Amino acid sequence: MSTIKTPNNRRTFLKLSLGAAAAAACAAAVPVAFAQAPAPGAPRALRIGNQKGYLNLLKGRGTLEKRLAPLNVSVSWTEFAAGPVQLEALNVGSIDFGDVGEAPPIFAQAAGAPLAYVAATVPRPQSEAVLVPPGSPIRSVADLKGKKIALNRGSNVHYFLVKLLRQHGLEYRDVNVAFLAPADARAAFERASIDAWVIWDPFFAAAQKSLGARVIADASGVVGNRGYYFSSQSYAAKNPDVIRIVIEEIEKVDQWGGRNKDQLASELAQLWGLPKPVVDLVVTRQQFGTVPITRAILGEQQQIADAFLELGLIPKHVDVLKAGPPGVA
């Protein structure tokens, strides 16, 4: 992994950043209304920051490099453990493209990162849930009142819990939230020092398979749980052709995964270091597809930003639309 040089605002960014359509349609997600691409043949670079997931699969296939070679675009890859760190790298100019969940971009915009949404996944609500131990007396969302619930602060599941409670007549203040990273939350779950855990796949599936965790509610009908592909405003403006090709190649891998779920599970199991039965469960509830950024999708993000402002998780109002493509419909 390359070393990221971080400016003086690193602490601020990390504080704010606490905390997986067809190709023609995907092309519409690209901010083609930005500036013209450089002259053909001019050497360019694409620096991709990836988490362990679809971008890793794309990297392994080498198809992106082949598509971009005629444009004289070199491709480099840096792996990150989480979305907030990816977006910090974007903020300091160390990467040009990456993938992230719903919540980290909100913190990135609040910190002044030059974020540009360039595509989204279809909703994946079944891939996150509220879990309780197998012998827990908790049987419904209403039973969560007064209980201690672990989650990763400022993550997609943080917003999911807020929306879920309100949908069932409760408020965020009605529960006791413990901010724990996934590994620490799992340990607390095993010790029964928390009553419930709000978590996403593959941690969700691993808890079901190895701990017998029981699902109180997933995000179906509550939140979308999309993934996002991002660039910087300046890179997207200068390289719309490169962004279009990246999204097309991601969509090819995504559609391949939908047609070859067993092989996809095998590749992801090796990538994540998890037993294949765990990843099989992840894949069975995975939704496949990459879609353009629309005003409606940015509206979903705006709801998250407004909720986080209300909870005091970000210090100022964030206008999500400013990170969308020009003229977004």
What's the pLDDT tens digit per position in 70-100? Answer: 999 999 999 887 777 888 899 889 999 999 8
> Which H or E run includes 50?
strand 44-50
Query: Alpha-carbon distance 86 to 297, whole Å?
Result: 21
Question: pLDDT at position 289, please?
Answer: 92
The residues of the chain that CATH labels 3.40.190.10 are 10-123+226-323, 125-218
- Where residue 9 falls among pLDDT bands split at 50, 70, 90? very low
Helix or strand (DSSP H, E) at 296? helix 295-310
What would the CATH number be for the domain defined by 10-123+226-323? 3.40.190.10
CA distance 102 to 228: 7
Please give the full DSSP string across 174-190, using - where no structure is assigned: GSEEEE--HHHHHHHHH
What is the per-residue pLDDT for 128?
Answer: 96
* Polymer length in residues for the chain: 329
CA-nearest of 181, 128, 131 to 153 is 181
CATH 3.30.420.40 for the 125-218 domain, yes or no: no
Cis-peptide into 202, omega within 30 deg: yes
Please state, in angstroms and as integers, the Cα–Cα distance from residue 313 to each residue in 18, 65, 162, 201, 219, following that order: 9, 39, 13, 24, 21
Confidence of residue 42 (pLDDT cuts 50, 70, 90): confident
d(CA 230, CA 310): 25
Asked whether the predicted pLDDT for residue 22 surpasses 60, the reply is: no
